[in-house]
Structure 1
Amino acid sequence: MMESNEDTTKETPHQNYMESRNTPYCFVKRYGSLTFDEALTQLRDSLKKADFDIIAEMDFEKYLNKYIKNLSSYKILLVCNKKTAADLLSYDVQMTTLIPCKISIKEIEGEALVEVSIEDTEKTWAISEKKEITDIAKNIKQTLSDILNQIGPKNVKL
């Protein structure tokens, strides 16, 4: 078999804000006044304050660097709250296929913007169809949404 020298890497499509905001399985916020590292630090701090543990962190930029050209800083965090996980499993042991929650943080438009996308648990966990899980999912969605709103410039003088 002959080896090909053909470049097989792909490009990621440009995703406009309205398109990413209307993704049905996550909610999104963009930040133009923070670096990737500042936003990531604030995200980690906010998760910790809300009693979420970061179970795993995947550097997608490094993981896919041979497959996607010019992928900017891009991480995926798997996060979980122990009490919530215990409650979910007490109602439906198969919820382990849907938890932990996923959060992505990435640079877009060069390094001009940082985008944080958080799984919409109210939608992704609704497949369980159990009222107890629906209630938990709504509360977790609100908590994660609040975390998005905590990220931003600090000590800004006007």
Structure 2
Amino acid sequence: MSFGYTVETSKGMDDAVQALEQALKEEKFGVLWDFDLAGKLREKGKDFPSGYRVLEVCNPDEAEKVLSKDKQVGYFLPCKIVVYEEDGKTKIGMPNPTTLIELANDPELNEIAADVENRLKKSIDNAK
């Protein structure tokens, strides 16, 4: 069972992030935070040679729906999408919201997570 979704792109990291931000807007998601994890590791003296950025993304309407149903679902929010370099290639990936939401054991939340997952995958595909 795969817990995530990953694609490869010919774009560099900055271009991939920029394309992803635009694609997310089309699905009514916004980037709350763009964290340069590789830069932070290097700042802390770690030898991390490749780029690795974590984008926390949110759609306020969807967040309100799931939090109104079960506040513990907030443990999974905001959604994360990662853009990273591996073997000279740029990759864009995320954990599957449907996999995470299974822990809540609520069919209504599963439906919301499936919709969010499809929209995030569409955004990732459109960004590559």
1:135 to 108, 111, 127: 111
Aligned length: 127
Q: CA contact under 8 A between 2:41 and 2:48: conserved in structure 1?
A: no
Task: Give a deviation string over 1:32-89, Cα, whole Å, max 9, x none.
Answer: x211111111011111121112122211111111454243121001111000000001
Aligned to 1:51: 28
Aligned to 1:11: none
2:59 to 81, 99, 120: 81
Q: CA contact under 8 A between 2:50 and 2:86: conserved in structure 1?
A: yes
**Residues 1-158 of structure 1: matches in 2 within 5 Å?**
24-31=2-9, 33-65=10-42, 66=44, 68-109=46-87, 112-152=88-128
Letter in 1 for 2:57: V
Structure 1 residues 68, 135: CA separation in 2 closer, same or farther (over 3 Å shift)? same
Whole-Å separation in 1 of the counterparts to 2:4 and 2:125 = 15
| Greater share of residues in helix | 2
Q: Give, in angstroms, the shift of residue 131 of structure 1.
A: 1.1
Whole-Å separation in 1 of the counterparts to 2:95 and 2:45 = 25
Task: Give a deviation string over 1:106-126, Cα, whole Å, max 9, x none.
Answer: 1111xx310111120000111
Whole-Å separation in 1 of the counterparts to 2:127 and 2:52 = 17
Whole-Å separation in 2 of the counterparts to 1:79 and 1:103 = 7
Task: Give a deviation string over 1:117-143, Cα, whole Å, max 9, x none.
Answer: 112000011111111100001111111
Letter in 1 for 2:36: D
Letter in 1 for 2:5: F
TM-score by length of structure 1 reads: 0.75
User: Which has more radius of gyration?
Assistant: 1
Q: CA RMSD in A?
A: 1.4
Whole-Å separation in 1 of the counterparts to 2:76 and 2:17 = 23
Whole-Å separation in 1 of the counterparts to 2:45 and 2:92 = 22
* Identity of matched residues, %: 24
| Greater share of residues in strand | 2
TM-score by length of structure 2 reads: 0.91
Q: Give the SS at the match of 2:15.
A: helix
Q: Give the SS at the match of 2:50.
A: coil
